[in-house]
A and B are shown apart, each in its own frame.
Chain A
Amino acid sequence: MTISHFSAVLLFSLFTSIVFGITQRAEPKKMVRFGALCFALFVGGTIAASWAMWLIKH
């Protein structure tokens, strides 16, 4: 099986955020919010780091 780098980021972020949301909050609504925040930070952080590395190289 082969996937793109971005697909790998999305899958990693999705699964990790679900576990973080469930385990780090006690109420369902807060779990969803925290999971969504983690997902956004994972994906956003990766994109930001990618652009930072591109800028350093160029």
Chain B
Amino acid sequence: MTTKVQEPAAAGGKTGSGVAAASGVSPALALLAGWLVPGAGHLLLGKWVRAGLLMVSIVGMFAIGIALAGKVYTPNTGEPLDMLGFVGDLGSGLLYGLARLLGWGQAPVLTAVADYGTKFIVVAGLLNIVAAVDAHSLASGRKPS
């Protein structure tokens, strides 16, 4: 009987390399910060330009969605599509909390443009999750730079 021995991590996938070693920020913190505030994960890692571009893109997309009178989903409506929309919206982190707190996106969607707004808000949340995971990968060393 043979036992498979795990191969050592490839050069690009090892921990403690590149940005991770230079910043000293824990991957979990980068992920959490990136989720709560768009671009904050990259900001902690010293990636100023990327952080700024991510923040402008995600906050801009969310703001346009709200301005187009898009819908902000709420939990527990019982509709499966609403639940998926809620998960997408939740990806925006504190932006979602702010929208709920201030009552944004509560009007019924009556026009095609307002429906586009709903999609802008959901996609802003999904893109923020992608950005937060990217910050996690940079902090853990999975992504070299």
Q: Is the Cβ of A19 less than 8 Å from the Cβ of B143?
A: no
Are B57 and A18 closer than 8 Å at their CB atoms? yes
Main secondary structure of the interface of A (DSSP, over half): helix
Is B50 in contact with A16, judged by CB distance below 8 angstroms?
Answer: no
B residues with a Cβ closer than 8 A to A are: 50, 53-54, 57-58, 60-61, 64, 67-69, 112-113, 116, 119-120, 123-124, 127, 130-131, 133-134, 143-145
Whether A12 pairs with B123 at a CB distance below 8 angstroms is yes
Given known A1-B68, A22-B50, A22-B131, contact A15–B61 (CB-CB < 8 A): yes
B67 touches A22 (CB 8 A): no
Q: Which chain B positions have C-beta within 8 A of A3?
A: 68, 113
- How many CB-defined contacts (below 8 Å) exist between A and B? 57
The one of A5, A11, A27 in contact with B145, judged by C-beta atoms closer than 8 angstroms, is: A27
Partner of B127, one of A8, A11, A19, A26: A19
Q: Are A16 and B123 touching (Cβ within 8 A)?
A: yes
Partner of A8, one of B116, B124, B134: B116
- In the assembled complex, the CB of B138 is this many whole angstroms from the nearest CB of chain A, namely 9
Interface size class of A (residues with CB under 8 A): 10 to 19
Measured in the bound complex, the distance between the Cα atoms of B19 and A27 in whole Å is: 13
Residues of B near A20 (CB, < 8 A) are 130
- Among residues of A, the one whose C-beta sits closest to the C-beta of B38 is A19
- Which of B57, B58, B119, B131 counts the most A-chain CB atoms under 10 A from its CB? B57
A2–B110 CA distance with the chains assembled, in angstroms: 13
Across the interface, do B68 and A19 meet the contact criterion of CB distance under 8 Å? no
In the complex with contacts A2-B113, A12-B123, A18-B57, A23-B67 CB distance below 8 A: no
Chain A residue nearest to B120 (CB atoms) is A12
In whole Å, how far is A30's beta carbon from the nearest beta carbon of chain B? Answer: 11
Q: A1-41: contact bitstring with B at CB < 8 Å (1 yes, 0 no)?
A: 11101001001101110111011001100000000000000
